[in-house]
A and B are shown apart, each in its own frame.
Chain A
Amino acid sequence: MSAGSLRIALVGNPNCGKTALFNQLTGGRQKVANYAGVTVERKEGRFSAPSGRVMQILDLPGTYSFDAASPDEQITRDVLEGNYPGEAAPDLIICVADATNLRLHLRFVLEVKRLGRPVVLALNMMDAARHRGVTIDVPELQRRLGIPVVETIAVKRGGTRALVERVDGDLPDAPPALPDDPASRANLHDEVRELMAATVTMPRATAVIDDVLDRWALHPVFGVLTLAVVMFLVFQAVYASGKPMSDLIGRGFTWLGEHTAAVLPPGPLHDLVVSGIFGGLGTVLGFLPVILVLFFFILMLEESGYLPRAAFLLDRLMVSVGLTGRSFIPLLSSFACAIPGIMGTRSITDPRDRLATILVAPLMTCSARLPVYALLIGAFIPERRVFGLFNLQGVVLFALYVAGITGAMAVGWVIKRIRRDKSEHALLMELPSYRLPRARDIGIGLWERGAIFLKRLTGVILALTVLMWFISTFPAPPEGATGPAINYSFAGHLGRFLQHIFAPLGFNWQISLSLIPAFAARETAVATLATVYAVSGDAQNGGLAHALTGNFSLASALSLLVWFAFAPQCMSTLAVIRRETNSWRNVAISFGYMFAVAYAASFITYQVARLFV
């Protein structure tokens, strides 16, 4: 049987080691996409069996049961039954079960068997099972189930050989299809109990190491302290390694742009290449190291099994502001950059909780706000001690961080109040066994995230960057014009138009103008202000600070700081919201509510500050 390829679907409970098995079988030959119209991830890969036959393998989402209404589980069921539009029914199902957790996983095996399609059961994590003294009578299990059963160790080279050989052989006969009704479903547990009693012996229910680790990791005091330390270290690592790499990439592209520019004649094309293409690419690719470093840690925490523990510790706090324990890590990531934060919400299984997290994530103070904060605080806030202890500049910076966090909590709370779906959404989260993360799985995970970012976002961001360049360059200044060229461009006109909107916030037209490129990347607001005030840019922040203090008031500066804390920026974030929620409506909601919040907060700040200073 070497003709044609075989379509295989991989299913199993969450935490059965399915993804590790998929990675072991396919290596890097995978394609990650979404199912049409929904944000459920579709992963497909292929490998060649010893007979030369090509195996196309589809990794379906982890599923506890076919009964519940979650989109993942619905898709899993439809694909297996061949009812999913555009998706051919699989020739063979590989059902993966964790050999150390058969009481839970065998129930799903029985559900899959009832579909009446050819199934092979892969008893995964056999190494861990043996280590814990679990013995399984595989021939007896196979006889009782009536489907082929093979042992696998997904994390070991060669650990899937038996499975590949079985799959490469003749297709097993399909078990009889059984009707799916509540009465027969209730019997599944009895069937599992019988199977367990006849084929499995376990010296103890759990691994000793899990019990010991959980006593610490979930302790009300030590557990919370451990979490704080872990998060602090992750954060430090992101700043220590991700940020310098990002800066290096940014500088690299500036250099590249300048050198390319040297061979081009001056003119619009020249500027397009230097500021549009290379500047834009530098900004986009500059996000990449931060994203990769953050995802490295998120994947480590996820693979090791610590992530659900962190969610356990924080669930109650997050629920009180309309989120879930699982929102914590994405929100924390958003302090570095909202893009990996929003991409990280994929670990939130509940769609409603996930959307709420995506909506509040951009309010976390990301690293791109820092240059703007640093400039304005340095220029307007005097460096002096308050209460003899704190530096006033530091206090203002801290207050801006707090404003972001309390803003997010308030927005979460409001979302909880106004959403139509007020039904109870469950936590019901499994805390899997601790595992040592494997380099291969981390590597593939990082590659996937990086590829999604580059492939899906570069186009959008680049197009918008070029548009930004266009409106700031054209039309060219008239003959004999004295001011900076941007004043005469579309952006200049737009800035003056926007000033009518932003005047109540204390923004002059130069600030209003700088908000336009800030929409592409916040930190460029600094460079724009330098251009319009015709001071030599970033090398002379002192000069720019001087120009700023001469041109607008403290009240305006405070108002601008508050604006940057809440404003709907940057467009990369909005692009990733579009990509992750598959909806322009959510982009509009994000943009709209952040604009309203930022406008109101800046208005109040400006009007109040004016009374005092």
Chain B
Amino acid sequence: MRLSDLPKGAYAVVERVEDAHADDLIAQRLRDLGFVAGEQVRLVACGPVGADPLLIQIGSTRFALRRAEAARVTVQEVA
């Protein structure tokens, strides 16, 4: 599933980050920030309007990602 489809409060493990187009700097940046296979993430909070942006915790860091950014990350939800 995509990180943007994760329910609030749920944990997941990153599978990969997909490029939305060739030379996708945003996808590259996500990888640099630690969105790489095997990392655990959690959806901490959602913005008040349209549940956008998303607050994702990875390691000890929280990142605010817009839905379009989070949709680049494929994850496996952890029960």
Which A residues lie at the B interface, using CB under 8 A? 64-65, 67-69, 100-104, 107, 186, 189, 202, 205-206, 214-215, 218-221, 223-224, 308, 311-313, 315-317, 319, 325, 424, 426-431
A218 contacts B69, C-beta separation under 8 Å: no
Cα distance A100–B62 when bound, in Å?
13
Cα distance A103–B47 when bound, in Å?
26
**B36: chain A residues within 8 A (beta carbon):** 186, 189
B64 CB to nearest A CB, Å = 4
B25 contacts A428, C-beta separation under 8 Å: no
Cα distance A64–B61 when bound, in Å?
12
Cα distance A308–B61 when bound, in Å?
13
**B66: chain A residues within 8 A (beta carbon):** 315, 319, 426-427
- Top 5 nearest A-B pairs (CB, nearest first) are A103-B59, A65-B32, A220-B48, A316-B49, A218-B45
Question: Could you write out 30 A-B pairs with CB less than 8 Å apart?
Answer: A64-B29, A65-B29, A68-B28, A102-B60, A103-B59, A104-B34, A104-B60, A107-B34, A186-B36, A206-B57, A206-B60, A221-B48, A312-B64, A313-B47, A315-B47, A315-B52, A316-B53, A319-B66, A426-B25, A426-B26, A426-B65, A427-B65, A427-B66, A428-B26, A428-B29, A428-B64, A428-B69, A429-B64, A430-B62, A431-B63
**A428: chain B residues within 8 A (beta carbon):** 26, 29-30, 33, 63-65, 69
Cα distance A220–B28 when bound, in Å?
30
A151 CB to nearest B CB, Å = 18
**CB-CB contacts of B17-39 with A at 8 A, as 1s and 0s?**
00010000110111111101000
B32 contacts A67, C-beta separation under 8 Å: yes
**A206: chain B residues within 8 A (beta carbon):** 57, 60, 62
Cα distance A608–B14 when bound, in Å?
60
**A325: chain B residues within 8 A (beta carbon):** 53, 64
B26 CB to nearest A CB, Å = 5
**B53: chain A residues within 8 A (beta carbon):** 312, 315-316, 325, 427
**A202: chain B residues within 8 A (beta carbon):** 60
B19 CB to nearest A CB, Å = 12
B77 CB to nearest A CB, Å = 18
Cβ of B6 within 8 Å of any chain A Cβ, yes or no, is: no
Cα distance A220–B8 when bound, in Å?
13
When C-beta atoms are compared, the residue in chain A nearest to B48 turns out to be A220
Cα distance A329–B11 when bound, in Å?
32
B57 CB to nearest A CB, Å = 7
**B25: chain A residues within 8 A (beta carbon):** 68-69, 426
When C-beta atoms are compared, the residue in chain A nearest to B66 turns out to be A427
Cα distance A65–B52 when bound, in Å?
26
**CB-CB contacts of B35-79 with A at 8 A, as 1s and 0s?**
010000000111111101101010111111110110000000000
Inter-chain contact total with CB atoms closer than 8 Å: 112
**A315: chain B residues within 8 A (beta carbon):** 47, 52-53, 64, 66
- Counting chain A CB atoms within 10 Å of each CB, the highest count among B26, B48, B57 belongs to B48
- Counting chain A CB atoms within 10 Å of each CB, the highest count among B50, B55, B68 belongs to B55
**B49: chain A residues within 8 A (beta carbon):** 316-317
When C-beta atoms are compared, the residue in chain B nearest to A211 turns out to be B44
Once A206-B60, A426-B26, A426-B66 are accepted as A-B contacts, the answer to whether A218 and B33 lie under 8 Å apart by CB is no
B47 contacts A189, C-beta separation under 8 Å: no
Task: Say which residue of A64, A65, A312, A430 sits within 8 Å of B47 (CB atoms).
Answer: A312
A430 contacts B63, C-beta separation under 8 Å: yes
Cα distance A107–B29 when bound, in Å?
13
When C-beta atoms are compared, the residue in chain B nearest to A188 turns out to be B32
Cα distance A312–B76 when bound, in Å?
25
**B60: chain A residues within 8 A (beta carbon):** 100-104, 202, 205-206
B32 contacts A68, C-beta separation under 8 Å: yes
Q: With contacts A205-B60, A427-B64 known, what are 7 further pairs, Cβ within 8 A?
A: A103-B61, A205-B59, A214-B55, A218-B44, A220-B47, A315-B47, A428-B29
**A224: chain B residues within 8 A (beta carbon):** 48
**B55: chain A residues within 8 A (beta carbon):** 214, 218, 312, 431
A104 contacts B26, C-beta separation under 8 Å: no
B50 contacts A316, C-beta separation under 8 Å: yes
**A69: chain B residues within 8 A (beta carbon):** 25
B64 contacts A431, C-beta separation under 8 Å: yes
Task: Say which residue of B30, B32, B59, B62 sits within 8 Å of A431 (CB atoms).
Answer: B62
Cα distance A198–B64 when bound, in Å?
30
When C-beta atoms are compared, the residue in chain A nearest to B30 turns out to be A428
A211 CB to nearest B CB, Å = 8
A206 CB to nearest B CB, Å = 6
A214 contacts B45, C-beta separation under 8 Å: yes
When C-beta atoms are compared, the residue in chain A nearest to B34 turns out to be A104
- Counting chain A CB atoms within 10 Å of each CB, the highest count among B26, B31, B53 belongs to B53
Cα distance A429–B66 when bound, in Å?
10
**A221: chain B residues within 8 A (beta carbon):** 48
- Counting chain A CB atoms within 10 Å of each CB, the highest count among B32, B36, B60 belongs to B60
**A313: chain B residues within 8 A (beta carbon):** 47-48
Once A67-B32, A103-B60, A427-B64 are accepted as A-B contacts, the answer to whether A316 and B26 lie under 8 Å apart by CB is no
B64 contacts A189, C-beta separation under 8 Å: no
Cα distance A103–B36 when bound, in Å?
12
A132 CB to nearest B CB, Å = 9
A214 contacts B33, C-beta separation under 8 Å: no
Cα distance A119–B29 when bound, in Å?
24
Cα distance A426–B30 when bound, in Å?
10
Once A104-B59, A312-B53 are accepted as A-B contacts, the answer to whether A426 and B69 lie under 8 Å apart by CB is yes
When C-beta atoms are compared, the residue in chain A nearest to B20 turns out to be A424
**B26: chain A residues within 8 A (beta carbon):** 424, 426, 428
**A308: chain B residues within 8 A (beta carbon):** 64
B67 CB to nearest A CB, Å = 9
**A101: chain B residues within 8 A (beta carbon):** 59-61
Cα distance A313–B55 when bound, in Å?
11
When C-beta atoms are compared, the residue in chain B nearest to A313 turns out to be B48
B34 contacts A103, C-beta separation under 8 Å: yes
When C-beta atoms are compared, the residue in chain A nearest to B68 turns out to be A424
